[in-house]
Amino acid sequence: MAFVITDKCLMCGSCAEQCPAEAIELVDEHYLINPDKCLSCGSCAAQCPAEAIAKAEAEEYVAEGVEELAAEAEEAAAEAEPCYKIDYEKCLSCGGCAEQCPAEAIAMDEESRYFINPEKCLRCGGCAEQCPAEAISMC
């Protein structure tokens, strides 16, 4: 499910800078989230100092006339192959990737190694950006 920017927006632009999919655009002096590009990772909402970004409900998509685009984006994300992996030789086991992950897709296995659950992964890339050892890369 994509996100929407509410009228609490301060127009600071921090959400657009944070978005890994470049789904946030300035249109007619308002920031808007393109649901066709949105990965639903939540990094924009986490970055917003005004808490002006919320998960969009189906009714909001209907109101904006883009319900079909949002459904297509969600379907494409669900069908996508896992696209991030952890290089265990580089991994420092610091846990920064797991703490940053909005989907809680990164956990530790029985050998005390972090792994990415492809069924939960939103493919936002935040884990790779967070990793100080550059141990996370695209498959």
Mind listing the pLDDT tens digit for each residue in 46-88? 888 998 988 876 444 444 444 454 455 456 555 555 578 899 9
pLDDT tier at 136, thresholds 50, 70, 90: very high
pLDDT of res. 37: 84
As a whole number of angstroms, the distance between CA 38 and CA 50 comes to: 20
Q: What is the pLDDT at residue 57? A: 60
The label of the residue with tokens 């939960």 reads 120
Give the pLDDT of residue 43: 85
Q: Which of 45, 25, 20 is nearest to 127 (CA)?
A: 20
Longest dimension (CA), the chain: 52
Q: Global pTM?
A: 0.46
- Is the model's pLDDT at 2 over the cut of 80? no
Q: State residue 38's pLDDT score.
A: 84
Q: Which residue has the higher pLDDT, 106 or 66?
A: 106
Q: Which amino acid is at 33?
A: I
Output the CA–CA distances (angstroms, integers) from residue 4 to 43, 80, 109, 126, 127, in the order listed.
13, 23, 35, 20, 23
Q: Please give the Cα distance from 26 to 20 (Å, whole number).
A: 16
